[in-house]
Amino acid sequence: MTTFSPAARSVLERQRIELPSWAFGNSGTRFRVFGQPGIPRDPFEKVADAAEVGRLTGLVGAVALHYPWDRVEDPATLRSFALEHGVALGTVNSNTFQDDEYMLGSLASTDAAVRRRAIDHHFACIDLMHATGSRDLKIWLADGTNYPGQSDMRERQDHLAASLAEIYSRIGEEQRLVLEYKFFEPAFYHTDVPDWGTSYAQVSALGDRALVCLDTGHHAPGTNIEFIVMQLLRLGKLGSFDFNSRFYADDDLIVGAADPFQLFRILVECLRGGAFEEDSQVAFMLDQCHNIERKIPAQIRSVLNVQEMTARALLLDRSALTAAQHEGDVLGANAILMDAFYTDVRPLLADLRAARGLPSDPMVAFATSGYQERVDRERVGGQQSGWGA
Ligand code: PSV
Ligand code: MN
Ligand code: MN
């Protein structure tokens, strides 16, 4: 009978995932935002929804904020509200992609006044982080160009380096800067931070508290993402994950929905690279935007998917795998990995939850809790997440 070792159990009990505040708002595509009832009207209600996911799964550690989508007027009160609900305020995500001024770029723009504006926005994010107790400042840039010759790519890298250095010099001793990359969109010809190599080169020039953020949806089809995970962990530069699923581009779907095997392989490398150790600083975050499904159960499904694939990774017989690898046993090594992947851990996880006083099936527990019906009744005029038409 399959069981978890005490070490595996301890990883599963400690596992915490950060939820994005924007996952709870109305969202959509460039064609349509479908409004739903029960949508949060302010950051407090987003935190409450995230806390509900945590209450039912035991898996939520923090809620990431997006500034200024989240109009945090009184950060101290929001912080205590969150802590009372069992979650911390997590990563602060900056936004230099929705003002007219940023049409041709932000931190990498060739216009000094635009760069100044974008740097100052990050200073405001850092001030917010001090008040919320957040550790990480996450920077994702929409900077890039649509046509060859439109701008000087080399000059823009230099501007980006100088802008990031200014921002980095402002973050506190306990804070970190994480730079997210994305291979295309909204720019189509070139993107200023398109890949992990560029992010790594830029953050390495800054210092130890500057790291890479890996969003699983930001790679070309066929990319071996677990290789990148391995390399960044090996280099000590993996700051955080934005987990989601993609079929085509930046789909932001429920994590593990498109390719559970890829999620497993990524988590195997996390385990191999020490990202589940007690002193690991890797932040496991979701970055999802739900267009047609209900927001709270979608987040529950996602954190459970991460937990399930972590559990399967923990069942991997590492010493047998290493032996097979060293013997050059191609099929044997592959079979050992696949054995772990194909193990159905759901009954084991249900038992583990019950032992922790959690519902054995959080999806059912939410559906029967009455929470959705209550917020549907109470909340009128929910906010858009920030994305969509
Ligand atoms: C845009 O691609 C994006 O989805 C990035 O992944 C960011 O993390 C997220 O928006 C929030 O700014
Ligand atoms: Mn992201
Ligand atoms: Mn994205």
Domain annotation covers residue 210: yes
| pLDDT for the residue 389 | 55
Is residue 345 in a domain? no
Domain range for residue 165?
Answer: 10-317
Give the pTM.
Answer: 0.97
Inside any domain, residue 117:
yes
Is this complex scored with an ipTM above 0.95?
yes
The whole-number mean pLDDT for each consecutive block of 10 residues of the chain, a chain of 389 residues, reads: 94 98 93 94 97 98 97 96 98 98 98 98 98 98 98 98 99 98 98 98 98 98 98 98 97 97 98 98 96 97 98 98 98 98 98 98 98 96 69
The pLDDT of residue 1 is: 80
Q: Report the pLDDT value the prediction gives residue 75, as an integer from 0 to 100.
A: 97
The C-alpha atoms of residue 156 and residue 162 are separated, in whole angstroms, by: 10
Kindly give the distance from the C-alpha atom of residue 319 to the centroid of ligand 3, in angstroms, as a whole number: 37
Domain assignment present for 367: no
- Tell me the CA–centroid distance for residue 140 and ligand 1, in Å: 6
Instruction: Kindly state the tokens that stand for 77.
Output: 């009160």
pLDDT at 386: 73
| Residues 57-90: b if buried by 16+ CB within 10 A, e if exposed | bbbbbbbbbbbebbebeebeebbebbeebebbbb
| Mutation to probe ligand 1, out of 91, 242, 251 (largest number of atoms < 8 A from CB) | 242
Tell me if 338 is assigned to some domain.
Answer: no
Task: State the total domains in the chain.
Answer: 1
For ligand 1, what atom is nearest to the CA of residue 387? Answer: 10
In a domain, 281, yes or no: yes
Instruction: Give the pLDDT confidence score for residue 382 in this predicted structure.
Output: 73
pLDDT at 309: 98
Helix residue spans in the chain (DSSP H): 6-14, 43-57, 75-84, 112-132, 153-168, 196-204, 225-234, 260-272, 295-314, 318-326, 330-341, 346-355, 362-367, 371-378
> How many CB atoms are located within 10 Å of the residue 231 CB?
17
Q: Tell me the per-residue pLDDT of 82-123, one tens digit each, with 9 for 90 and over.
A: 999 999 999 999 999 999 999 999 999 999 999 999 999 999
Q: Which two tokens mark 90?
A: 């997590």
- The residues facing 60 across adjacent strands are 17
Question: The domain that contains 166 carries what CATH number?
Answer: 3.20.20.150
In a domain, residue 70? The reply is yes
Q: Length of the chain in residues, anyone?
A: 389
Residue 219 lies in a domain: yes
Span from the CA of 252 to the centroid of ligand 3 (angstroms): 7
Please state, rounded to an integer, the average pLDDT across all residues of the chain. Answer: 97
pLDDT at 237: 98
Q: Residues lining ligand 1, judged by CB closer than 6 Å?
A: 93, 140, 180, 182, 215, 242, 250, 287
Residue 212: the pLDDT is 99
Q: How far is the CA of 215 from the centre of ligand 1 (A)?
A: 8
Nearest residue by C-alpha to atom 5 in ligand 1: 140
